[in-house]
Structure 1
């Protein structure tokens, strides 16, 4: 086990010293934006986003960075296509120069959308569990026996060929019910007839 500091915050928050156009602490605005999106409070989330958008180009960039993260960290499996939409809106907004009003529409649409999404934080929880587990040396990654196949030097030394791969290395879970099996059967028949694998 390592020392007491499990997940130290090492990055210096550069937003602590920044004030927004209405003299709010930028780090607090950034924090409030994410908390309001998490709770689905659209009105205040939109106001906070607009504060960021109109304060500076740097704070606008920070807003988009947070929206991209929120789409995975807070929305997650609640709406799995959220990252695609938010990234698309991010790309679209770049076609409009600051401070053109239409440019800000894309960020506000993103905020409104994220507020309305069903939320799921389990991917962030998974990441934090992994970090904690690795940094405290509770667990390390393992290579299971079924991964030692024809694609690895050890698997080739053991004579593990195509049949082993099809029967062990290519196993998927969960598998589509009633999935097409014809090509797998053909492959196995070819291996049987050629006496290889």
Structure 2
């Protein structure tokens, strides 16, 4: 992190006088460890402090659903976003708003956790910045959808044989239409 960066929440105190930056940090650490009760209390503190801190709570919960839950529960971002969208139907003064925050935190605490996407981003950021790696364009990507592929004369056959290849492919998937397309290509009915 840049040494010039200053977290704006450093200067904010919560409703009960806690440093907001510490509450935000503790919330994420407690969700990571599955410490539901304290995580819910921290979220509650954020909600009752101010609309700005409540909004930031939801921002953090969305990040946590990807950064810390990840493939442990791939639908976590969908659920958190759904709860956040539902929340928009309630006025700021509605007591039910706390219910959505606590429910979201309880859900995230109970999820299996996986930080591999965040770890991959951290690794890539360093490796790209240092010049160690760069993205590659594989030959099979040069198909009828690219200027280079068109120059190479690659058409639908190449696309369906190479460009549309799936891995991992659903076992026993319906291949009816793929086979029909390949037959049409064989017979010259499709170019």
Give me the TM-score of the superposition, normalised by structure 2: 0.95
Distance 1:167-1:99 versus aligned 2 partners, 3 A rule: same
- 1:135 offset after TM fit, Å? 1.2
Q: Which residue pairs with 1:3 in the alignment?
A: none
Q: Let me know the Cα RMSD of the aligned residues.
A: 1.4
For the Cα contact (< 8 Å) 1:32–1:48, is it kept in 2? yes
Partner residue in 2 for 1:158: 152
Does 1:29 pair with 2:23?
yes
Aligned partner of 2:53 among 44, 47, 59: 59
**Paired residue for 2:175?**
181
Unmatched tracts of structure 2, length 5 or more: none
C-alpha distance in 2 between matches for 1:87 and 1:19: 27
User: Runs ≥4 in structure 1, deviation > 6 angstroms?
Assistant: none
Offset at residue 99 of structure 1 (A): 2.5
8 A contact 1:94–1:103 mirrored in 2: no
Aligned 1:1-197 pairs, distance under 5 A: 8=2, 11-194=5-188, 197=191
Alpha-carbon spacing, 1:134–1:106, altered in 2? closer, same or farther (3 Å): same
1:4 is aligned to none
Task: Note if contact 1:75-1:120 (Cα within 8 Å) is conserved in structure 2.
Answer: yes
| Aligned-pair CA distance for 1:11 | 4.2
Compute the displacement of 1:191 (Å).
1.1
TM-score, normalised on structure 1?
A: 0.92
Q: What count of residue pairs does the alignment treat as equivalent?
A: 191
Give, in whole Å, the separation in 2 of the partners of 1:85 and 1:196. Answer: 43
How far the C-alpha of 1:67 sits from its partner, in A, is 0.5
